Amino acid sequence: MEKITFDEIKKALIRSGYLLENRVLNFFNDNQFDAESSHRYVIDEVEGKFREIDVLATANLASNSTNKTNITLFVNFYVECINNPVPLALFCSYGDREEPTTDWAYNFINGSPQFLEFCSESFPQVIYDRQNEIIKSMPARQYCGFIMKKDKNIDEKWMANHPDDFHQTLSKLSQFVKIKKSDTKERWEEIRPDFTRLEIFIPLIVLQGEMIEIINQKELELKDIEYYRLKAPYEKGYNKSLSIDIVTEKYLKTYLDLKVTGLINMFDDLNSLINSNFE
């Protein structure tokens, strides 16, 4: 068997997404998150089928205690890392200017039935009031990539395409959020039943390469972007979508700061309502 050289190893790694995955893992760990990489999860126990998420990052962001209530905010980022040699293009969807609060994935776990009901009814309004602080893009429902045609002797050597691997990434993230929402609720239910957990689940794609926005109105306009949201199907029976955040690697720090600050502000708003109703 031919031995691979160090130079060939470096070239293989640079072409892959492993170096990006490693940088993203270290980034979350350096920012007070508990992060792990290459997390495997079961999709079929009978057939032994597994899938893998590149990076899982979890943090306890804030807590609030009163004489009657205790609640803690946990955020979970589920991250796929993509080394895209050509730009990912996202089509601006003008019919979705406002993100419905139902696009958010979260659980309230433990606490009295009265308290859980109050939180579940109050949090959508809190999201609505604060979400513009951390959502800095229009949503998209359509995307495309670009591929070079095999016949390089023609003038139009590039064509737009719908990359299957990116579609699989979206499906995997949506599926994983569903699994973790269920698993988290099952794991923590009845553990410290007087302490309520607000778990927020955020699917995220980090791109090593470029991303562009396509604005298709009177004229076709293209813009370089660093952050966008893509609405992916989540629950077919309820016509429910899940917003998946997409950022470039160089924007990741800014994105995380915006997200964490916004989530803490939301949590503070929720606690103001809690404190005024559960004195």
Phi, psi of 191 (to 5 degrees): -90, 120
- Give the DSSP H/E element, type plus range, for residue 37: strand 34-44
- HSE (CB half, 13 Å, CA atoms) of 39? 21
Q: CA of 88: how far to CAs of 109, 142, 147, 209, 229, in Å?
A: 37, 11, 11, 8, 12
pLDDT in tens, 176-214: 998 899 888 888 877 877 789 999 999 999 999 999 999
DSSP string, 97-116: -SPPGGGSEEEEESS-HHHH
pTM given for the model: 0.90
pLDDT of residue 36: 92
Give the per-residue pLDDT at 234: 73
77 neighbors 202 (Cβ within 8 angstroms) = yes
Cα–Cα dist 136/146, whole Å: 25
pLDDT of residue 65: 83
Helix (H, G, I), strand (E, B) or coil at 84: coil
If you count them, how many residues does the chain have? 279
Per-domain residue ranges for the chain? 6-277
Extract the residue ranges of the chain whose pLDDT is less than 70.
Answer: 41-49, 94-102, 136, 151-154, 235-239, 279
